[in-house]
Amino acid sequence: MTQPMGETDIPTLQDAWDPREDVLQGKIRDESLAADAHEVAYGDNVPDVYDDTETFFDLTYPTSGVTGVIEAVAQRVIAHYRGEFPEENGTITLDTSFGGGKTHSQVAAYHLAEHSDEIPDLTRYTQSDETAHEYRALENNKSVLTSVFVGTKYAPKPVKPKQVRQGEHTPEIQTIWGHIAYQLYGVEGYQVVSSGNNLVAPGEQLLSNLFSLSDEAAVIIMDEIAAHLSHATAVSVNDGNLAEQTLNFLMALFNYASNNSDVTVIMSVAADAFEDFATIFERDLSYDDEVMDADVSIPIAKETIQEFQNIEERVANKITPVEDSNVADVLRNRLFKNNIETGLREDIAQRYYDFYDADSSSFPDEASQPEARERIEQTYPFHPTVVDTLTKQIDAVPSFQKARGALKLLAPAVMRLWTDEGQGPLTADRELIRLYDLHPQDERTSKMLKSIFGDIEMDFEPAVKDDIYNTDPNDTPNALYEDKYWINRGQPPLGTRVVTTTIWKSLVKGAGSKGTSRDYIRYASAKPGETIDHYNSAIGNLLGESDESACFYLHGENNQQLKFKTIVTVEKAINQANPRTSRVDNLLDETLYNAALGGSSMTIYENPQAVHEVDDTIETLGQLVVVEPSTLTISEPDDITETVVTKIYERSASSKHGNKKPRTYKNNLIFLVPGIRISRARSKAGRLASVRVVQDNPDDFGLQDAQLDELPTKRDEARGDLENLVKNAYSHVYIPSNPSPDQPHEGLAHYNITVTDSTLINAVIAKLEDSGEVITNNEPAYSPNWLENNLWMAVGDSMTTVELKQQIGKQRSAEILLDPRPLQKTIRRAIRESDSKFAYWNHHHERGYVDPSAFEEIFDERNEAVTFDEAHNLVAAEELEDVGIDSSEEVYESTKTLIESVAVTWQCSDCGDYLDSTREYAEHSCQIEIECGQCPDTFSTQQEYEQHLPCGTNYDCSNCGRTFNTEESLTEHQPCPWPQTVVGKTDSPAVVTEAVDTITAEIEDKVTQIKHNFNSSTHEIKQSLDGLTLKLQGDDAWKKGEWIAKQMPEQDGLQNVAVELEYEARYDDSHVETHFDGTGKMFADTLKHTNKPSGSPDDQYIEILIKADTSLELNRLDILEDIIPGATTIEMSVRTALELTEDEKQEMTP
């Protein structure tokens, strides 16, 4: 028993098989495959493969049919010369299915009769060795006469035969019996059967006289009789026609052969000879000089052929030259010199069977059935799918020519496999010949494909050109794009494997069983060791999941049968759309600035070309300079030298023609530059533009309704892919930095960014924030030392807060300030911390914040008897809450410098007078009498009066609830400023987190101003959310409104709030409006059961007004982050109610 081979022991095709020379040299062409018994017998230029007996039998596989014909003829010849009556029927019919083989069997019989001594090993072609030996014994002194009649070679009219016997008068012959008699016995034979009326068929007696002209055995080979009979119906004979006479002759001949041993008739009848009658009249008759079909009565001809079939069925011994089980043997024998031992066949079959069985769900059921192993062994080196496709599918195509067609396809495939020596991507590391080896890159294969396309009436030539193979170097087929993807990853060319296999499985006339399944593709293509999922990915890419390799004519979406169609796919239409360049550019820009950079609070400069186009300012924090690919695309960080990036970084100007000067605020610049991947983004923008062109002009592309339904999905996919590609293409960020040797340009540092699930601008900020290069709004206060070391550049004793901000913009060693709040917090910390020396003065409010202990030390040194509490416009530094970035707000380097620089005022606690100096304060003496407005008491000091209060009847304000001691005080208080309302809103659409931050900051600023105006401290005012408005626009406005409605009832505080909704969608000639007013829960239920307006509007928006109750505090705006999708851009407006707290309703002086 042969031991199983390991995988490394199994030889490749090239190692195991030895192709024949004519195969390797590409000499197997039509003429060498077109067997013609008539030409072999009587022709002058017959190819050696048929004319030379030894060569012919070397190339002939001894099928059961071939050996059956040789055995029967040999037995009858032996019986004749022994004077015995043979057991074999005298008439043999060659019944063909796939593989034909009829002509081959006829030629084999002809060579046996004429040149048996040249057959190398006759025992190989007989069914018994005894027959071969007995036949050989006759060769020296016995011969066999032969006649070959092919119905398409002889018209039923007088013609001279092609074979002329020397020394004889050559007659013109019109009948089948005349030709046979002349071929066997010359003029003498012709005269025997033509006595009297030569158009009247001879009977058995005349045939007996004919065959008695010689003692030699005769073999008569006939082919294409049906074709001859159909035309013979047009020749009148007595009261009938020549076809009737021919049938009489054939019946007499068959009867004679069945009763005598000296004649053997071999007749071929194609399987469809009696079924496809119309094809008879499409055949050319070699000796036709004039058209005879006009005289043919089709009903009569059809009746005649039917009668011929009845005769053939009654008398013939049928032999099938090539059974299905012999097909692989026939092909293998013709293409290869050698055969392979059984052990190797078994090992290969077992290896593949194990591969299929281990993952049976990935392959057809037939692949893992027990008989599958024997099937692989039987068809080796051909994969079973090759043999099955050629024998059970393509063989039905008229132009395929059965075995001849199979050899014409397989010969160039073998030639290419061995010419490449297994090194090419299509031929490397191979053990089996596959369907994808029958590739149109070979001219012969391409020609045959075109012929088949014509037969099945399906023009697949565009599909081959666009999707499989063409010779145009500027037009790469889609499969090759897919091949490149896999080859670059060390995998086989899966694209070509899939599409080539599929084209062969699509060659079926009509729509019946066209195409194939995915598991069949894997079965026909995959080999042990390969990853099956790669085939699934490749199929998906070819069907459109990959823009680059999506096929134009391959169909099979939604797991349907894979097949090629003459109808273009949506991908073909998209590829042909050819949008304007400007439209592509606009989409690229729109994606960059709206989707990738949209919602940013930074100032964005779009593709500036000159230094004056970027302001030299610190008024707006964070100037993002976006360079577009038309201006600069880089592959290496150093590529920015002498570009618009370095020019803008170095210089500034007030106008186009203004003088250029060094840029002051370099540390406010961030440059964003695209890398070479932007080309992929541009290609995707082109695809998105193409999809829109097809959507806008559907009639121009001939797509069906179902295909048009695919376009919105493809548009959305392209738009999403484009956004991701743009984000990833803009991977180069440059920011100011202290000069160092490793910088791409002096003073510019480079960072690579990678975007995952955020916007491009957020990725830029996150990268710089992680690198410690920017100060964002969520940064805590920096230390006083940081302020002193990085920002303190005072010319005198102080710097305004604006100057401090400006200093950040000038210092490249400092982080880039993106939000003023961290700076404000840092200044406040520097003032408030006990160990800090700084002091603060607000010129607008004429108030300073200083260290009380430093104050006491200063006045102690001056020997001035004042206390800190007596300084009217000085407050302890720790009470500083609000710091603005304004020229009226100033930081002093110490409490002493502040006191020396500003006018400190002193207030008399008794009379309330303000005094401008400590001297005036010390000398001040007041005489006052303070009356109580509610009782007759008077007081000499304010302190006594305040201790007296409250007194008598109180007067409460109905608005703010504060209490007044007198009615006059209440009257003076009116109109009451409380409660108040402040509004914060976004200036443009922004993502929810940024919108909330912006609005919260705006409201805080307004509240701070109110506190200043009314001399209030922080805890005295209560803030409540009075209402907020959300506005969403764009294609998915309604969808996002539905999402918000769904989330609201799940949030504490929003279930029972009042909600109003306005929705409007505008179309070309109409618009749709929707209104709603109710609670949050009702809002969710209503939108859930409201159908979205149909169609694709040109513009739509949805506006949601949430009228919150007072229990929802302002700091609960973070709820919005839970109910609004994170990447959604919205416009937001928030209305906040302000009122005094219950325990702080005290009189406030404006």
- The 3-class secondary structure across 51-94, one letter per residue, is HCHHHHHHCCCCCHHHHHHHHHHHHHHHHHHHCCCCCCCCEEEE
Where residue 1091 falls among pLDDT bands split at 50, 70, 90?
Answer: low
How many C-beta atoms surround the C-beta of residue 688 within 10 A? 27
Q: Mind giving me the DSSP string for 361-425? A: GGS-GGGGSHHHHHHHHHHTTB-HHHHHHHHHTGGGSGGG-HHHHHHHHHHHHHHHHHHTTT-ST
Contacts by 868-872, CB closer than 8 A, 24 or more apart:
870/906, 870/907, 870/909, 870/921, 871/904, 871/905, 871/906, 872/904, 872/905, 872/906, 872/907, 872/914
Which comes out higher in pLDDT, residue 809 or 1128?
809
How many C-beta atoms surround the C-beta of residue 604 within 10 A? 17
The answer to whether 106 and 266 are in contact (CB under 8 A) is yes
For residue 518, the model assigns a pLDDT of 95
- 742's CB contacts (< 8 A; 6+ apart) are none
Identify the three-state secondary structure at position 217. strand
Query: Residue 271 pLDDT > 50, yes or no?
Result: no
What is the rounded average pLDDT of the residues 928-946? 73
DSSP state, 746?
A: T
For residue 284, the model assigns a pLDDT of 43
What is the rounded average pLDDT of the residues 859-864? 84
Query: Residue 965 pLDDT > 70, yes or no?
Result: no
Identify the three-state secondary structure at position 201. coil
For residue 1110, the model assigns a pLDDT of 47
Render pLDDT for 196-209 as a digit per residue (tens, 0 to 9).
678 999 999 999 99
Total-model pTM: 0.61
- List C-alpha distances in Å: 682 to 582, 676, 713, 726, 960: 12, 11, 20, 8, 62
What is the rounded average pLDDT of the residues 280-284? 46
Give, for 818, the enclosing helix (H) or strand (E): none
- List C-alpha distances in Å: 699 to 584, 686, 696, 704, 1076: 22, 20, 9, 10, 40
Q: Which of 389, 380, 325 is nearest to 349 (CA)?
A: 380
The answer to whether 1064 and 1031 are in contact (CB under 8 A) is no
The answer to whether 917 and 871 are in contact (CB under 8 A) is no
Identify the three-state secondary structure at position 483. helix
Which comes out higher in pLDDT, residue 872 or 979?
872
Query: Residue 239 pLDDT > 70, yes or no?
Result: yes
Single-letter amino acid, residue 1061? L
Render pLDDT for 122-178 as a digit per residue (tens, 0 to 9).
999 999 999 999 999 887 778 899 999 998 888 888 888 877 676 677 889 999 999
The answer to whether 72 and 319 are in contact (CB under 8 A) is yes
What is the rounded average pLDDT of the residues 805-820? 91
Our CA dihedral for 716, 721, 722, 727, rounded to 10 degrees, sits at: 130
Q: Mind giving me the DSSP string for 592-608? A: IIIIISTT--SEEEES-
Whole-number average pLDDT of the chain: 83
Q: Which residues pair with 662 in a beta bridge?
A: 651
Identify the three-state secondary structure at position 949. coil
Residue 1143: exposure state from Cβ atoms within 10 A (0-12, 13-18, ≥19): exposed
Q: Mind giving me the DSSP string for 107-152? A: HHHHHHHHHGGG-S-GGGGSS-HHHHHHHHHHTTT--EEEEEEETT
Q: Which residues pair with 1075 in a beta bridge?
A: 1062
Total residue count of the chain as it appears in this document:
1150
Least confident of 85-94, 267-276, 740-749, 1036-1045: 267-276
Query: Residue 470 pLDDT > 80, yes or no?
Result: yes
What is the rounded average pLDDT of the residues 237-252? 92
The answer to whether 445 and 438 are in contact (CB under 8 A) is yes
Percent of the chain having pLDDT more than 70? 86
Render pLDDT for 627-682 as a digit per residue (tens, 0 to 9).
999 899 998 888 888 899 999 999 999 998 889 999 999 999 999 999 999 999 99
Percent of the chain having pLDDT more than 90? 39
Q: Give, in degrees to the nearest 5, the angle at Cα 857 between 854 and 860.
A: 150
Token pair belonging to 187 = 């003029």
DSSP state, 45?
A: S
The answer to whether 91 and 316 are in contact (CB under 8 A) is yes
Where residue 286 falls among pLDDT bands split at 50, 70, 90?
Answer: very low
DSSP state, 213?
A: T
What is the rounded average pLDDT of the residues 503-525? 85
Helix (H), strand (E) counts: the chain: 44, 36
* Share of the chain residues as helix, strand and coil, in percent rounded to the nearest 5: 45, 15, 40
Q: Examine residue 975 and say whether the peptide bond preceding it is cis (omega within 30 degrees of 0).
A: yes
Render pLDDT for 399-410 as a digit per residue (tens, 0 to 9).
776 778 888 899
CA–CA distance, 98 with 212 (Å, rounded to integer): 39
Render pLDDT for 1039-1049 as a digit per residue (tens, 0 to 9).
777 777 777 77
The answer to whether 645 and 734 are in contact (CB under 8 A) is yes
What is the rounded average pLDDT of the residues 927-952? 72
- 959's CB contacts (< 8 A; 6+ apart) are 976, 978, 979
Token pair belonging to 881 = 């809450």
Q: Which residues pair with 1030 in a beta bridge?
A: 1104, 1132
- List C-alpha distances in Å: 216 to 77, 260, 604, 850: 9, 13, 106, 141
Render pLDDT for 342-380 as a digit per residue (tens, 0 to 9).
889 999 999 999 999 999 999 999 999 989 999 999 999
CA–CA distance, 192 with 204 (Å, rounded to integer): 12
- 643's CB contacts (< 8 A; 6+ apart) are 632
Q: Examine residue 979 and say whether the peptide bond preceding it is cis (omega within 30 degrees of 0).
A: yes
CA–CA distance, 288 with 152 (Å, rounded to integer): 10
CA–CA distance, 95 with 317 (Å, rounded to integer): 10
Start-end of H helices in 801-892: 801-810, 820-832, 852-861
Token pair belonging to 543 = 């069907």
What is the rounded average pLDDT of the residues 616-620? 92
Q: Examine residue 989 and say whether the peptide bond preceding it is cis (omega within 30 degrees of 0).
A: no
What is the rounded average pLDDT of the residues 875-889? 91
Give, for 1017, the enclosing helix (H) or strand (E): none
CA–CA distance, 317 with 88 (Å, rounded to integer): 8
What is the rounded average pLDDT of the residues 1003-1014? 75
Where residue 574 falls among pLDDT bands split at 50, 70, 90?
Answer: confident
Q: Which residues pair with 1103 in a beta bridge?
A: 1031, 1062
Rounded to a whole number of angstroms, the distance between the first and last alpha carbons of the chain is 111
Where residue 496 falls among pLDDT bands split at 50, 70, 90?
Answer: very high
Single-letter amino acid, residue 191? Q
Query: Residue 751 pLDDT > 70, yes or no?
Result: yes
Tokens 């000085």, residue located = 874
Query: Residue 1033 pLDDT > 80, yes or no?
Result: no
Q: Which of 954, 948, 1010 is nearest to 1139 (CA)?
A: 1010
- 594's CB contacts (< 8 A; 6+ apart) are none
Tokens 């409460």, residue located = 956
**What backbone phi and psi angles, to 5 degrees, belong to 1071?**
-150, 160
